[in-house]
Protein backbone atom coordinates (compact mmCIF):
# COMPACT_ATOMS: atom_id res chain seq x y z
CA UNK A 1 0.00 0.00 0.00
CA UNK A 2 2.76 2.40 0.94
CA UNK A 3 4.38 1.99 -2.46
CA UNK A 4 1.12 2.82 -4.16
CA UNK A 5 1.11 6.03 -2.15
CA UNK A 6 4.76 6.66 -2.98
CA UNK A 7 3.96 6.14 -6.65
CA UNK A 8 1.11 8.64 -6.47
CA UNK A 9 3.27 11.14 -4.59
CA UNK A 10 6.07 10.74 -7.11
CA UNK A 11 3.69 11.26 -10.00
CA UNK A 12 2.40 14.41 -8.39
CA UNK A 13 5.90 15.72 -7.63
CA UNK A 14 7.07 15.10 -11.19
CA UNK A 15 4.03 16.96 -12.50
CA UNK A 16 4.68 19.91 -10.21
CA UNK A 17 8.37 19.89 -11.18
CA UNK A 18 7.64 19.82 -14.91
CA UNK A 19 5.04 22.55 -14.46
CA UNK A 20 7.58 24.68 -12.58
CA UNK A 21 10.29 24.12 -15.18
CA UNK A 22 7.96 24.98 -18.04
CA UNK A 23 6.61 28.06 -16.29
CA UNK A 24 10.13 29.37 -15.68
CA UNK A 25 11.38 28.27 -19.11
CA UNK A 26 14.02 26.05 -17.52
CA UNK A 27 15.43 23.32 -19.71
CA UNK A 28 17.37 20.51 -18.06
CA UNK A 29 20.39 19.16 -19.87
CA UNK A 30 20.93 15.42 -20.04
CA UNK A 31 23.38 15.33 -17.15
CA UNK A 32 21.00 17.33 -14.99
CA UNK A 33 18.22 14.89 -15.78
CA UNK A 34 20.65 12.10 -14.90
CA UNK A 35 21.50 13.70 -11.56
CA UNK A 36 17.84 14.23 -10.72
CA UNK A 37 16.92 10.73 -11.92
CA UNK A 38 19.66 9.04 -9.90
CA UNK A 39 18.77 11.20 -6.91
CA UNK A 40 15.09 10.25 -7.07
CA UNK A 41 16.03 6.57 -7.45
CA UNK A 42 18.28 6.76 -4.38
CA UNK A 43 15.56 8.46 -2.35
CA UNK A 44 12.93 5.87 -3.30
CA UNK A 45 15.43 3.04 -2.70
CA UNK A 46 16.16 4.58 0.68
CA UNK A 47 12.48 4.61 1.58
CA UNK A 48 12.35 0.88 0.78
CA UNK A 49 15.51 0.18 2.75
CA UNK A 50 14.47 2.28 5.73
CA UNK A 51 10.95 0.94 6.03
CA UNK A 52 11.82 -2.71 5.47
CA UNK A 53 15.01 -2.68 7.53
CA UNK A 54 12.91 -1.58 10.46
CA UNK A 55 10.46 -4.38 9.66
CA UNK A 56 13.43 -6.76 9.70
CA UNK A 57 14.29 -5.48 13.22
CA UNK A 58 17.46 -3.83 11.94
CA UNK A 59 17.14 -0.21 13.12
CA UNK A 60 20.85 0.44 12.70
CA UNK A 61 20.71 -0.49 9.00
CA UNK A 62 17.57 1.61 8.61
CA UNK A 63 19.15 4.69 10.15
CA UNK A 64 22.45 4.31 8.31
CA UNK A 65 20.60 4.01 5.02
CA UNK A 66 19.43 7.59 5.47
CA UNK A 67 23.07 8.64 5.47
CA UNK A 68 24.28 6.37 2.68
CA UNK A 69 21.31 6.53 0.34
CA UNK A 70 18.87 9.25 1.33
CA UNK A 71 21.35 12.05 1.79
CA UNK A 72 23.25 11.45 -1.48
CA UNK A 73 19.90 11.16 -3.23
CA UNK A 74 18.80 14.50 -1.90
CA UNK A 75 22.12 16.07 -2.87
CA UNK A 76 21.88 14.74 -6.43
CA UNK A 77 18.36 16.08 -6.90
CA UNK A 78 19.18 19.47 -5.48
CA UNK A 79 22.41 19.65 -7.49
CA UNK A 80 20.69 18.73 -10.74
CA UNK A 81 17.94 21.28 -10.24
CA UNK A 82 20.30 23.93 -8.94
CA UNK A 83 22.57 23.63 -11.98
CA UNK A 84 19.59 24.07 -14.28
CA UNK A 85 18.18 26.94 -12.25
CA UNK A 86 21.53 28.77 -12.14
CA UNK A 87 21.96 28.43 -15.87
CA UNK A 88 18.43 29.69 -16.52
CA UNK A 89 18.92 32.62 -14.17
CA UNK A 90 22.24 33.49 -15.78
CA UNK A 91 20.66 33.40 -19.25
CA UNK A 92 17.79 35.57 -18.07
CA UNK A 93 20.28 38.16 -16.73
CA UNK A 94 22.16 38.19 -20.03
CA UNK A 95 18.89 38.64 -21.94
CA UNK A 96 17.96 41.54 -19.68
CA UNK A 97 21.37 43.19 -20.13
CA UNK A 98 21.24 42.70 -23.90
CA UNK A 99 17.83 44.30 -23.98
Partner 1 sequence: MAGNLSRRELLAAIGLAGTAVALNAGEAAADQLDPRPTTIDRSRLWWVKESDKPTTEIDWQQMKRFDETKTTRKGMPLYVGADKAKEIADLNTRTPLEAEQEQRPGYTTKDIALKEATNAGRVPMSFLGPNKATTPKDRGVPMYEGTPEENTQIVTAALRHMGAATVGVVELDSNTEKLIYSIDSDGKAIVFEDVEVGSEDEKKRVLPKKARWVIVYTIQMSTETMRRSPTMLGSQTTTLTYTRHTQIQAQLQEFLRALGYHGYGEASTNALGIAPAFGVLAGLGELSRLNRLVTPEYGPMVRVFKMVTDLPLAPTKPIDAGILEFCKNCKKCAEACPSKSLSFDREPTWETKGGWNSPGHKAWFEDSTSCRAYWAAVGTNCGICFASCPYAKSDLASVHTLVKATASATPIFDGMFRKLDDVFYDDFKDPEEWWRQNLPEMGIDTTQGHKK
Interacting span for partner 1 (CB under 8 A) from 28-36, 60-68, 70-78, 84-92: 60-68
To the nearest whole angstrom, how small is the minimum distance from the Cβ of residue 57 to partner 1? Answer: 6
Centroid of chain to Cα 79: 9
Task: For Cα atoms 44, 19, 45, give the angle at the middle one, nearest 5 degrees.
Answer: 5
Is the CB of residue 2 less than 8 Å from the CB of residue 48?
Answer: no
Question: In b/e form, how buried is each residue of 14-28, taking b as 16+ CB within 10 angstroms?
Answer: eeebeeebeeeebeb
Residue 11 interacts with partner 1 (CB under 8 A): yes or no: yes
* Residue 25 contacts partner 1 per CB under 8 A: no
Contact 33, 80 (CB under 8 A): yes
Does 24 bind partner 1 (CB under 8 A)? Our answer is no
Query: Could you say whether residue 37 binds partner 1 (CB under 8 A)?
Result: no
Q: Which is nearer to partner 1, 72 or 79 (CB)?
A: 72
Q: Which residues bind partner 1 (CB under 8 A)?
A: 3-4, 7-8, 10-12, 14-16, 18-19, 23, 45, 48-49, 52-53, 55-58, 60-61, 64-65
Amino acid sequence: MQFLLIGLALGLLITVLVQFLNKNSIQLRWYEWLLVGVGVFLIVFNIDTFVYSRAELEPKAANLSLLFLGLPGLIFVVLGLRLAYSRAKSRASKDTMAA
